[in-house]
Amino acid sequence: MTETSLPKSVTARAGTNIALVKYWGKRDAALNLPAAGSLSLTLANLGSETTVRFAGDAGTSDGRDRVLFAGAPAEAKFAARVQRFLDLVRTRAGLRLPAEVATTNTVPTAAGLASSAAGFAALALAASRAAGLRLSPAELSELARRGSGSAARSIFGGFAEMSTGTRTDGADAVAHGLLDEQSWDVRLCVAITAEGEKAVGSTAAMDRTALTSPYYQGWLASVPVDLEEARAAVLARDLAALGPIAERSALRMHACALAADPHILYWNPATVAAMSTVKGLRARGTLAFFTIDAGPHVKVLCRTADAPSVQASLAATPGVMRVLVLAPGPGANILHEK
């Protein structure tokens, strides 16, 4: 493809997603292939917006890709990760041009709110389109996965399921949509319990868990049951069935990491207090169920009608700083193309 036939620039956005059946462990680090499936909810509001332009003058003075984050040059580690991702896109498109990538995030970065999921889903869509490729949702999911395992799910709106796949090239390790964002009236209330970066990044934590936790095989063996039950509950729009599976999956993920050596503990006192708040809500008849990612925040799934009271209870929990109420959101989409 020649430079002149490419779009001048493409801007895409994607929402972050929160796994209800957790993703923890890779079967191939280079290809980012998951060791087990997962099931997630893509969220509106919290996401990434990314603009990509491939052109002779798009790169830096030394011919590398120019990567901007929130308007400023991105830090070296993140820029290198984006550049490696763009190499995949260039290879696929038969393109040799440098790119300018400008990304902004409405997810607190690296704080357990899955910023990389939204970021790489938006980047996969914007970069592939800017390179002249028209990928199917499954192909986009596969591409996004190479950037971040959880990004494969943010290609889809609402509830999505990620498959482990069996192929060594990863072509079947992709997500698919289960129920779009319009189809089930639920909310996710996110209780923020700390500021700043999480203690251990999830890739490093997954590696340590796989190598040292005596529970890692038990974890992997438990996921297919959770997935099957969670999928059925989502398709039936049955919150009372889905909630306990989500709590079980989250706690087993954390338990598996806690058993690593050295142990990995993402919780702070407010994390435990917020779990207790959720159990209290349930004891009083509110269908509310928590999940926790690789960070200290507590995310509570409930019916839309119950979200105000869930939010208020979480906000009144000692140590909880603020509570975001998030709706299901659409999958990755193009905002504009010039």
| Residue 224 binds to its own copies (criterion: CB under 8 A) | no
Residue span binding its own copies (CB under 8 A) among the ranges 1-9, 65-73, 166-174, 219-227: 219-227
98-137 as b/e: b if 16+ CB within 10 A: bbbbbbbbebbebbbbbbbbbbbbbbbbbbbbbbbbebeb
Q: Tell me, what DSSP letter sits at residue 228?
A: H
| Binder of its own copies out of 276, 284, 337, 338 (CB under 8 A) | 276
| Residue 244 binds to its own copies (criterion: CB under 8 A) | yes
| Residue 48 binds to its own copies (criterion: CB under 8 A) | no
Min CB(109)–its own copies separation in Å:
23
| Residue 248 binds to its own copies (criterion: CB under 8 A) | yes
| Residue 255 binds to its own copies (criterion: CB under 8 A) | yes
Residue span binding its own copies (CB under 8 A) among the ranges 155-163, 170-178, 266-274, 330-338: 266-274
| Binder of its own copies out of 84, 96, 167, 263 (CB under 8 A) | 263
| Binder of its own copies out of 44, 133, 241, 273 (CB under 8 A) | 273
Residue span binding its own copies (CB under 8 A) among the ranges 98-106, 230-238, 240-248, 299-307: 240-248
φ/ψ (deg, to 5) at 261: -135, 110
Structure tokens belonging to residue 130: 């800017």
Pairing of strands 322-326, 186-192: antiparallel
Residue with Cβ nearer its own copies (44 or 251)? 251
What is the C-alpha separation between 22 and 246, in angstroms, rounded?
A: 8
| Residue 283 binds to its own copies (criterion: CB under 8 A) | no
| Residue 222 binds to its own copies (criterion: CB under 8 A) | yes
What is the C-alpha separation between 69 and 233, in angstroms, rounded?
A: 38
Picking from 332, 331, 336, 286, the residue whose alpha carbon sits closest to that of residue 308 is 286
| Residue 270 binds to its own copies (criterion: CB under 8 A) | yes
Min CB(63)–its own copies separation in Å:
44
Strand partners, 39: 21, 161
Residue with Cβ nearer its own copies (53 or 248)? 248
Which positions from 305 to 324 touch its own copies by CB under 8 A, shown as an x/- string? -------------xx-----
| Residue 261 binds to its own copies (criterion: CB under 8 A) | yes
Residue with Cβ nearer its own copies (83 or 277)? 277
| Binder of its own copies out of 55, 251, 287, 327 (CB under 8 A) | 251
| Contact yes or no for 45/106 (Cβ under 8 A) | yes
φ/ψ (deg, to 5) at 68: -110, 135
Pairing of strands 298-303, 186-192: antiparallel
Tell me how many degrees the CA angle 64-124-122 measures, rounded to the nearest 5: 105
Min CB(243)–its own copies separation in Å:
12
| Binder of its own copies out of 120, 156, 219, 289 (CB under 8 A) | 219
| Contact yes or no for 291/243 (Cβ under 8 A) | no
Q: For residue 253, what are the CA distances in angstroms to 219, 226, 277? A: 7, 12, 21
Residues contributing to the site for its own copies (CB under 8 A): 213-219, 221-222, 244, 247-248, 251-252, 254-256, 258-259, 261-263, 265, 267-273, 275-276, 318-319
